[in-house]
């Protein structure tokens, strides 16, 4: 489950359709710790919790509390952050937690983000993070950055549309995106909130997985075409024969083929 902690992101990356998200989202401005705890008590314990999704997670001052709560309940937690909103006390607390993966989004030489690189607070936080935390991945929007086009919603999107049967790992193994009001969107590429599957404050996780909308989206994979399913505009959608051929190869050959597939489709 990917967690969006706020209704907007001041970092406003060039490759992020943030305006679309702000226009589409109509709920409360920030996810409360109380609501977060209510929701994660409904989730399967083998499900990973990702902090990031549509906005910088630490814009919400309760983000560290949420991470601490999720880990204490046995969830594996991943974080994707620019550090905007993070304070020194957050870093100290995070350094004592068992975080499965931390991806640090750094400033770039193209001014593609509004990370406040010249402020002393950002410099001090960055230095402390590099000293105290294990950083597993770095993300930089430089000349080598690959824009995934967010299912055709970024300003750089080419407007591609897939016809024929397809598959997506996010449909096989759902990676839903939860909003601050606990509505659940299809995935991290649904910035326009086109596919809202339900709400985890009022429904169970099983009800979300078995919702009419999610079943409709999954059924579309086996059709020749449709105009109202976001997945057909997304680079994560792979022709179905190609997808399962790679899956079989992974099972037979192992990590080498898996690395090829991840590089080709998921980076």
pLDDT, tens only, 32-57: 999 999 999 999 999 999 999 999 99
Cβ-in-10-Å burial (0-12, 13-18, 19+) of 3 comes to buried
- Taking 70 as the threshold, does the pLDDT of residue 254 lie above it? no
pLDDT score of 224: 87
Whole-number pLDDT of residue 267: 44
When the pLDDT of each residue in the chain is averaged and rounded to a whole number, the result is: 91
User: Rounded to an integer, what distance in angstroms lies between the CA atom of residue 198 and that of residue 209?
Assistant: 9
Fold of 2-209: TIM Barrel (3.20.20)
For the ranges 126-130, 239-243, 261-265, the lowest mean pLDDT is seen at 261-265
- pLDDT of 258: 59
Q: What are the strands of the beta sheet with 137-140, ordered from one edge? A: 137-140, 101-106, 77-81, 49-51, 2-3, 177-178, 183-185, 196-199
Q: Please name which of 16, 8, 53, 266 lies closest in space to residue 156, comparing C-alpha atoms.
A: 16
pLDDT tier for residue 248 given thresholds of 50, 70 and 90: confident
pLDDT tens string 129-172: 999 999 999 998 877 776 676 766 766 767 788 899 999 989 99
Average pLDDT over residues 75-85: 98
> Where do the structural domains in the chain lie, given as residue ranges?
2-209
């Amino acid at each position: 489950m990917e967690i969006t902690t706020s209704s907007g992101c001041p970092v406003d990356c060039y490759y992020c359709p943030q305006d679309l998200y702000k226009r589409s989202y109509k709920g409360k401005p920030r996810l409360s710790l109380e609501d977060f705890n209510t929701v994660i008590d409904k989730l399967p314990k083998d499900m990973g919790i990702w902090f990031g999704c549509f906005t910088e997670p630490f814009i919400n001052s309760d983000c560290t509390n949420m991470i601490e709560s999720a880990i204490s309940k046995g969830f594996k937690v991943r974080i994707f952050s620019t550090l905007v909103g993070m304070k020194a006390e957050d870093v100290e607390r995070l350094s004592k937690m068992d975080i499965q993966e931390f991806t640090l989004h750094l400033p770039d030489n193209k001014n593609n983000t509004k990370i406040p690189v010249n402020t002393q607070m950002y410099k001090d936080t960055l230095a402390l993070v590099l000293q105290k935390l294990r950083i597993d991945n770095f993300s930089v929007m430089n000349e080598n950055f690959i824009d995934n086009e967010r299912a055709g919603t970024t300003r750089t999107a080419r407007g591609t549309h897939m016809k024929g049967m397809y598959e997506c790992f996010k449909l096989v193994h759902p990676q839903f995106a939860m909003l601050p009001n606990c509505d659940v969107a299809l995935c991290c590429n649904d910035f326009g909130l086109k596919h809202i599957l339900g709400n985890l404050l009022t429904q169970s996780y099983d009800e979300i997985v078995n919702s009419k909308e999610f079943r409709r989206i999954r059924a579309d994979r086996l059709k020749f075409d449709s105009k109202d399913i976001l997945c057909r505009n997304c680079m994560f959608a792979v022709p179905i024969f190609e997808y399962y051929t790679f899956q079989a190869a992974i099972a037979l050959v192992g990590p080498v083929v898996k690395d090829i597939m991840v590089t080709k489709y998921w980076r």
